[in-house]
A and B are shown apart, each in its own frame.
Chain A
């Protein structure tokens, strides 16, 4: 049984007929080709699949595509607007990644964090990113990147 859904993904309207069990992460990656969103643990823990759903960071491996019907979605592909988003630039400048697998989800979470708390302390950054696991960096440069992005965005 296919269900018709309509979404706005990175500013573009999308209409699809989907199986109810299709996960949002699979819709984005396999149906829409937006492979920037990663699937890591596939058990709602690692945060690699984080996207913005109506402006809130959520784990797209734990949301059904039908639940997102009518929503606005932003993936890592939708952040840059001619130039990198300040959080993307800050990750580049501060070497906030090594292998890069967690980075799209990490950056989306940082965008959400800075949206609700524009000047987070180091503790608030580490706490705010507890839903995103990085196996390479030890998080230090990620924290620096968020602090740098906060400074840029508060201009």
Chain B
């Protein structure tokens, strides 16, 4: 299968890429291409031009400074899953990246492409949301930062404007007493998340929970935060019983059903996977 014809641009800087995007309203950004090229081959997308940002140096690399980890938009799932820095600072993100697709896909797919595509059944959005990631975006008017909670708008819709590029993702480094984890129940054929749960918990000096976050992919049209579960955990002793009780209150009103799983099934699965992610996060805190 061939994509329909398009013009190809390979800018060498973010500024140049943004300029090309501004002048080509029907252009799409190409990073690893593992979401975009398949939909172009199926002719579900037919952009007039592709702006290949895969070789822009400023979009590569993982660096750690001032209590945060900065991951370039073109860093691959493989690099994230295998990065000692990510494993130590944000284990939920490394775990989520390591469970995407398969080996070949992980060598090509990028964090920036994944978050910009905002596939509800992908793995990184919930991890970014739970970890409180900040997304850095550049457009013709300059750069701005968007919190993950404001970035995911709806099904495959983000806060990115058509002439903006996601340049990097900043994740806070886990402090002492904080642990995170990602637990996924995948569709056995596609590998996409029927339900993926990302959890972050923080324990205070006395061992009780002082902060928690639990977010899901795959359950509704976009990554969602289960704020009622997090609120129920704060102040608890984070025992298995406390986690089960908090997760029992989970409600995702807009859970979606499809040919693979009903909305009710996904709700129940979210309780199970949420509890698993919370227990692992607790054990790491």
Interface residues of A (CB under 8 A from B): 1, 3, 19-23, 26, 42-45, 47, 50, 53, 56-59, 61-64, 66-67, 109, 112-113, 128-131
Interface size for chain B: under 10, 10 to 19, 20 to 34, or 35 or more residues?
20 to 34
Interface residue? B103 (CB, 8 A): yes
Contacts known (A1-B7, A63-B108); A113 close to B103, Cβ less than 8 A: yes
User: How far apart sit A22 and B5, CA to CA, in the bound complex (Å)?
Assistant: 10
Q: Do residues B33 and A59 form an inter-chain contact, with CB atoms below 8 A?
A: no
Q: Is the Cβ of A23 less than 8 Å from the Cβ of B34?
A: no
- Pairwise interchain contact B2-A131, C-beta atoms closer than 8 A: no
Would you list 21 pairs from A and B whose C-beta atoms are within 8 A, ordered by A residue?
Answer: A1-B8, A21-B4, A21-B6, A22-B2, A23-B2, A26-B2, A50-B104, A53-B107, A56-B107, A57-B103, A57-B104, A61-B41, A62-B34, A64-B37, A66-B8, A67-B33, A67-B52, A109-B103, A109-B104, A112-B103, A113-B103
Smallest Cβ distance from A50 to chain B, in angstroms? 6
Q: How far is the CB of B78 from chain A (nearest CB, A)?
A: 8
Min CB distance B113 to A, Å, is 12
Q: Does B196 sit at the interface, judged by CB under 8 A?
A: no
Q: Are B108 and A62 in contact (CB under 8 A)?
A: yes
CA distance A113 to B102 in the complex (A): 12
Q: Which of B3, B4, B54, B105 contacts A131 (CB 8 A)?
A: B105
Given A19-B5, A21-B5, A64-B33, A42 and B103 touching (CB < 8 A)? no
**A56 surroundings in chain B (CB, below 8 A):** 78, 107
* A44 with B34: CB separation less than 8 A: yes
> Closest chain B residue to A131 by CB distance?
B102
Cβ distance A150 to chain B, nearest Cβ, rounded Å: 16
Q: Are B52 and A130 in contact (CB under 8 A)?
A: no
Q: Which residue of B lies closest to A3 (CB)?
A: B8
Tell me the residues in window 126-157 of chain B with beta carbons closer than 8 Å to chain A beta carbons: none
Q: Are A20 and B50 in contact (CB under 8 A)?
A: yes
- Assess the A58–B107 pair: CB atoms within 8 A: yes
B1 interface contact, C-beta 8 A = yes
Contact B105 A44, beta carbon cutoff 8 Å? yes
